[in-house]
Amino acid sequence: MLRFSVDGTPIREFKNAESVGVAYPKNQAMRIYSSLWNADDWATQGGRVKTDWTKAPFTASYRNFNANACVWSSGSSSCSSSSSSSSSTSGNNSWLNEELDSTSQERLKWVQENYMVYNYCSDLKRFPQGFPPECALNNST
């Protein structure tokens, strides 16, 4: 499972659903890319939200960035033995299979309802032929 959290609040999950034909990024290196709102059509809700360029330059910074991950090399996985998650057990990789508790699930839902600007699983314009298979799964957004 891929889970992104900011200051302990989950903001996005992507579960491994290879068993139902959903591609999962496991055999290649991953990187995290973030950007500020780039004013593309999807980010402006089709142009309804105007970009205020007088607020430029737009900048972002990161403090205390911590990523817990497994490294795949030569056919085997190596995971770090510590985690910043308070519910993880030090010395093992319990965070790897950890499910969100009900409070965290509600926080994730709240963040997505109040801050998610774009969800490709509801973009009929982009997917007129039908949504990708992961969109039919629970908690895929």
Record the pTM. 0.58
DSSP assignment of 42-64: TTTTTTTS---GGGPSP----SS
Asked whether residue 46 is domain-assigned, the answer is yes
Residues of the domain holding 65: 2-83+92-136
Q: What is the pLDDT of residue 106?
A: 93
Asked whether residue 141 is domain-assigned, the answer is no
Domain count across the chain: 1
For 24-42, the pLDDT digits (tens) are 887 777 777 676 666 666 6
How many C-beta atoms surround the C-beta of residue 108 within 10 A? 20
